[in-house]
Amino acid sequence: MKQAIHSKCIPGLSSKQCEICVRDSLRDYQNCCNGFMGGTIRKPVCYFLWDGYAYFGAFNDTPSAPTQESQPGPILSPPTPPPLTTGAIVGIVVSTVIFVVLVILGLFIWKKKQSYKTLKPQTDDDMTSPQSLQFDFGTIEAATDGFSRNNKLGQGGFGEVYKGTLLDGTEVAVKRLLRNSGQGTQEFKNEVVIVAKLQHKNLVRLLGFCVEGDEQILVYEFVPNQSLYYFLFDPTKKSQLDWKSRYNIIGGITRGLLYLHQDSRLTIIHRDIKASNILLDEHINPKIADFGMARNFRVDQTEDMTGRVVGTFSYMPPEYVTHGQYSTKSDVYSFGVLVLEINLPQTADRPEMSTIFQMLTNSYIILPVPRPPGFFFRNGPNLDHLTYGSEPGQSSSKSVPSLTSTRYKI
């Protein structure tokens, strides 16, 4: 079978390079394709074409090898093509560089989107993607000494909290969610997106997160004095909170909630304000924590409804418990309960129900002189806890209003 064989090289290629490319193509043709009626072998700088039929002069301008019966003979080397101009070379280089840069940029953006895809919370008004640092699991595992029990700070409903130390010496609190916890996963996504955008001295700061396999981890600043709950209800710690400390704690919580409700970019409803979610730093300054239940409002939004009531029952307002309705006033209700916990007297000062009944049913009753709040402890003759706000040497009576038995009409 006679075959017409043709070859051609790109402009600017030397005769030697063209000959090498064409001969390589010829070897490929002899090894694999000699039995085919026609075809092409294309390389980056040359191509090789054969066909069993004449092309009627279509390749008259193309140097070609002579036809043969079975194996083609030596291929004629084409004449040396004109060299590429400087402008052509610059154009090719610039085009190649731009193409490579665009490919790399596209891959980077795609990988970034994939990295945050699992962190998108299921809300209608999501905040922008978090800019916090994403830790790798090995770093966190090393910081916590393999999540050692000696570093365990506590355990909540959706995971455990460990103390850790990063390579630069920064102390952190690591919240490791329970594996395969669907609800915990939703809280994780919600907390990463919301807390990463909040910056206030009375809010716990999120330093980063980790998502690897089934591991979901939050990394916070370390707050050394645990939660307000321990200081209020632990027998040994509750005596450490004098009036000044409690007053400052209430003020700090107020500033934190004011920031969430009014001063942050979006209105944030915490929905789980309680003593165990208020952490205390080394100076007993409060920091609101645990934003897993938090929700954000639009600028013109004042309330919302939910079919899933979450939180701690004793801190929930009635409209939220019964109808799933929540707003900034929900946090205000929880804050009120928390203030009562901070200021509740000791049990001996609470009246009997018979006394309360008389107060409610009698038209006139002499009420007893109000006692100092329950967090005032009389440790000695100087009454240190009663003199807050007084000048040295002054009587403590100036810090507590002088009250006498008064007749009130109910």
Return the active site residues. 272
Query: Strand locations in 250-405, DSSP E?
Result: 267-269, 278-280, 286-288, 295-297, 303-305, 325-327, 364-367
Rg (CA), the chain: 39
CB 285 within 8 A of CB 223: no
CB 115 within 8 A of CB 134: yes
**Tokens, residue 159:** 């995971």
DSSP assignment string, 153-167: EEE-SSEEEEEEE-T
- Strand-strand pairing, 159-165 and 278-280: unpaired
* 315 three-state secondary structure: helix
Q: Cα dist. 384→156, 345, 378, 397, 400 in Å?
A: 37, 18, 7, 12, 13
Distance CA 58, CA 349 (A): 112
**Tokens, residue 272:** 């789980």
Q: What angle (nearest 5°) sits at the alpha carbon of residue 131, between those of residues 130 and 133?
A: 110
